[in-house]
Amino acid sequence: MNVNITNHPLIQHKLTMMRQTTTGCKEFRELANEISLLLGYEVTRDLPLTETEIETPVARTKSNILTDRKFAVVPILRAGLGMVDGIVSLIPSIKIGHIGLYRDPESLNPVEYYCKLPPDVAEREVFLVDPMLATGGSASAAIQVLKNHGVKHIKCVNLIAVPEGVRRINEDHPDVTIYCAALDDHLNEHGYIIPGLGDAGDRIFGTK
Ligand code: PRP
Ligand code: URA
């Protein structure tokens, strides 16, 4: 299984808070963005650097800056919206696209209802964000949408994944790296992650 799990103590602590039933909507949203920011360090770890010459107040020196690259963060609506601000705070100039998918409660298959991407998305490295990678159906479909728009470099960023979802993405899209904060145990008969955190969208938006 090809998955990158960032089990930094701060992330684990915040995820524990998110999982708890007693954590309310405001705190849940704050934690989702905080963890996304922390995951962002791992997701951007391999960005290339270019050496440049600069002047400090006391010396001339060589120092690194990020090589000019274009990025986009694409949340899977709705719940993915809860991760956008964390990524934007790391890369303030990043463009934002949206892919709307919901999971049919019976078949668990994704149903696409919206797509709006930056016009030059094909030239961008895309961070696809969604808190939950369950069956992997939604993420796989969203990745296919991005590829249909010509995107070549995609990283899938989730808060919680399960082996079923990871295997699905590894099989459907072996070129996509998955980053998550935790790999949970299994899916229940309704396709919910166990132990998970419940319905991420409902908890972020207070719809239940
Ligand atoms: C949730 C979640 C993912 C999807 C994961 O969205 O945010 O998009 O389920 O499940 P999968 O890996 O089995 O496809 P949901 O369909 O509940 O929609 P919402 O974000 O609008 O609440
Ligand atoms: N979507 C969620 O929001 N939670 C799960 O556990 C699985 C899918």
41-56 per-position pLDDT tens digit: 999 999 999 999 999 9
Q: How far apart are the first and last CA of the chain?
A: 34
Which residues are CB-contacts of 30 (< 8 A; sequence separation ≥ 6)? Answer: none
Q: Is any ligand 1 atom within 6 A of the Cβ of residue 134?
A: yes
Rounded mean pLDDT, 83-110: 95
State the closest ligand 2 atom to the C-alpha of 201, by its place in the atom list counted from 1.
Answer: 3
Regarding the beta carbon of 29 and ligand 1, being less than 6 Å apart is answered no
Q: Is 192 in the pocket of ligand 1 (CB under 6 A)?
A: no
Range of lowest pLDDT (35-39, 40-44, 105-109, 125-129): 105-109
pLDDT at 184: 98
Task: Taking residues 106-131, report their average pLDDT.
Answer: 97
More confident residue, 105 or 181: 181
Is 74 in contact with 122 (CB distance < 8 Å)? no
Q: What is the mean pLDDT of the chain?
A: 97
The bound ligand whose nearest atom lies closest to the alpha carbon of 196 is 2
Is the shortest distance between the CB of 137 and ligand 1 below 6 Å? yes
Please say if the pLDDT value at position 85 is more than 90. yes
| Residue owning the nearest CA to atom 4 of ligand 2 | 199
| The predicted structure's pLDDT at residue 7 | 87
- Which amino acid residue places its CA nearest to atom 18 of ligand 1? 102
Judge whether residue 105 has pLDDT over 90: no
Residue % of the chain over a pLDDT of 90:
96
| 71 or 105, greater pLDDT | 71
- pLDDT of res. 107: 92
Q: Which of 199, 207, 208 to mutate for ligand 2's pocket (most ligand atoms within 8 Å of CB)?
A: 199
- Judged against a pLDDT cut of 90, whether residue 126 lies above it is answered with yes
User: Sorting pLDDT into bands at 50, 70 and 90, what band is 10?
Assistant: very high
CA distance 140 to 85: 23
What would the pLDDT profile of 170-203 be if each residue is shown by its tens digit? 999 999 999 999 999 999 999 999 999 999 999 9
Q: Is the CB of 76 under 6 A from ligand 1?
A: yes
Phi, psi at residue 98, to the nearest 5°? Answer: -140, 135
Instruction: Please report the pLDDT score of residue 208 as a whole number.
Output: 82
- Give 94 Cα–ligand 1 centroid separation in angstroms: 24
Confidence at 23, pLDDT banded by 50, 70, 90 = very high
Assess whether the C-beta atom of 196 lies below 6 angstroms from ligand 1.
no
Q: Can you tell me whether residue 15 is helix, strand or coil?
A: helix
Q: Which residues contact 188 (CB under 8 A, 6 or more apart)?
A: 194
3-state secondary structure at position 58: coil
193 lines ligand 2 (CB under 6 A): yes
